[in-house]
Amino acid sequence: MSVETEALTAQAPPTTALPAPVRAPSALRAFVANRAGVAGLIMILLITLFCFFGPVIHPTDQVQVNLAITNMPPGNGHPLGTDANGYDVLGRLMVGGRDSLEIGVAVALIATFLGAIWGAAAGFTGGLLDALMMRIVDTFLALPAIFVLIYLATVFTPSVPLLIMVISLISWLGPARLIRGETLSLRTREFIESARAMGAGRTRIIFRHLLPNTIGTILVNATFQVADAIILLATLSFLGFGLPPPAATWGGMLSQGTTYLGDGYWWEVYPVGVLLMLTVVAFNLLGDALRSAVDARLA
């Protein structure tokens, strides 16, 4: 090597590998290697196809009550029988699942976004403002979520937009605490100090540096938020505070089906119970796999 080449090599700044592009392939490989996570993703895709495209293959009337075919066992024309109102159970499963998935995903997006912004702002600011913001979070966390939802459901007529808004306003508290913890560990890092030294403002640092470095935590939390929102919606519907009839909800189907379970009408309880359980388990498996894939300590 010549003297000029050695001098150029010595003067050249060391290359820094961008963390996201380097970690993305390894994270994807880690996720694919996680059989439980892949199984969860496949189940979510199948359930989504069942709920959104199933009614095209098996169209049924979910509006008009038909008392002539109430509580019919599974048979021709009704693969899973009918319920106490004459509705086709299979069609009701599809329609109810569509509302559950739409509300669950919408709640996850809104709650995670609000929680991430609140937590990042509190953790990065610190001091008195951080303490005040987190005391607000602790105050709302102390309120029993189900009681708040029931109260709001009795005051207002439940609808899909209203349920999304109400459940989101309760669900953002957990992500706020989670992202705040991540921010507290990131705000003293060198790249944050460098951004401050270059004159970057608080907003720019939060949105350009802090939040992108917590994207793994945000994605994992959003996955769990979907499952939590579906459970909350099912609980409300089971207690009679969900979407009003003739809207179909999995919790409402469970509530009505348990009334007739003693009469042997198992098809009004077990299919919806199994589908609800599989949906929640699938999102939890996906969340666990994502957490393992994006966590550098488990790589």
Model pLDDT for residues 150-191, shown as the tens digit of each residue: 888 788 888 889 889 989 988 999 999 999 988 888 888 888
CB proximity list for 244: less than 8 A, separation 6 or greater: 157, 158
Residue 85 Cα distances to 62, 94, 255, angstroms = 10, 17, 13
Confidence (pLDDT) at 51: 93
**Per-residue pLDDT tens digits for 181-199:** 888 888 888 888 888 888 7
- What global pTM score does this model have? 0.83
Find out whether 183 and 123 touch, Cβ atoms under 8 Å. Answer: yes
Query: What tens digit of pLDDT does each residue of 226-236 get?
Result: 999 999 988 88
Q: What are the sequence ranges of the domains in the chain?
A: 30-53+81-298
**Torsion, CA 248, CA 274, CA 162, CA 92, rounded to 10:** -10
Determine phi and psi for 216, rounding to 5 degrees.
Answer: -60, -50
- Model confidence pLDDT, tens digit, residues 69-96: 888 899 888 899 999 888 999 999 999 9
* CATH fold for domain 30-53+81-298: MetI-like fold (1.10.3720)
* SS3 readout for 96-139: HHHHHHHHHHHHHHHHHHHHHHHHHHHHHHCHHHHHHHHHHHHH
Name residues of the chain where pLDDT drops below 50.
1-22, 296-299
- Where helices occur in the chain by DSSP H, the ranges are 3-11, 19-33, 35-57, 89-125, 127-141, 145-155, 160-171, 173-186, 190-197, 202-205, 215-238, 250-260, 270-294
